[in-house]
Amino acid sequence: MRAVRTGRVVLVPVGPNNARDLWEVLNAPDLRKFQDIPRVPAEEFERQVRSRPRQLRPNATGRFEWLLRAGDPERPIGWISLRVNDRTPRVGEVGYSLVYEARGHGYASEALQAVIDEAFATAELDEIQACIVPENGASRRVLDRNGFREERLLKSGAVIRGRHVDVLLFSVTRASWDRARREHAERSATRSAR
């Protein structure tokens, strides 16, 4: 996996060297309301990270994750992950979070755009999915801004703090990503021809 720099955010691949930084972010307050984040000791988390795949490439499966860094001085502000299941190796699922102080600046939307580009271009996925609880308006807006479409409600689709909850499934396809990129390129060409 490679590091990716967007306009304001650096996506640093998570590996044994920075697993503890991610572990600290995972334990920041106000992250568990809408998602399940297992509480594990730092050493166990580092062991889990060591067993993850190293390279995002076609047909690679497992959990790929980036620590998000931004600000001046630059510091960890959250994470974004892409999970690819063995049973559906052409479909990925994204997840993301920002620490409380980093919200409301567009960092999550910027990071998600970068991971979508990386997943379609490098891993050659056909579809990327995301699941949110219906009341997570901030996360829904992040998905909307990145071209995800609401697909359907999954009854008891997730477990949060030990309780089964319904989740909305969103997805973006390679075809719609290609179309959006072509339209963007055409608009840029028209602007520079004026």
Ligand X SMILES: CC(C)(COP(=O)(O)OP(=O)(O)OC[C@H]1O[C@@H](n2cnc3c(N)ncnc32)[C@H](O)[C@@H]1OP(=O)(O)O)[C@@H](O)C(=O)NCCC(=O)NCCS
**Given 49, 67, 108, 168, the residue binding ligand X (CB under 6 A):** 108
User: Least distance from C-beta 23 to ligand X, angstroms?
Assistant: 16
Let me know: does 120 contact 174? Beta carbons within 8 Å.
Answer: yes
User: Rounded to an integer, what is the distance from CA 103 to the centroid of its chain?
Assistant: 15
Let me know: does 150 contact 139? Beta carbons within 8 Å.
Answer: no
Start-to-end C-alpha separation, the chain: 39
Cis before residue 41, ω within 30 degrees of 0?
A: no
Residue 142 touching ligand X (CB under 6 A):
yes
> Looking at 17-25, 105-113, 115-123, 157-165, which segment touches ligand X (CB under 6 A)?
105-113
> Looking at 90-98, 119-127, 150-158, 171-179, which segment touches ligand X (CB under 6 A)?
90-98
**Given 15, 105, 165, 176, the residue binding ligand X (CB under 6 A):** 105
**Given 14, 82, 98, 114, the residue binding ligand X (CB under 6 A):** 98
Angle CA 103–81–27, to nearest 5:
60
Which residues in this chain contact ligand X in the complex, by CB under 6 A?
Answer: 31, 34-35, 96-98, 103-109, 132, 136, 138-139, 141-142
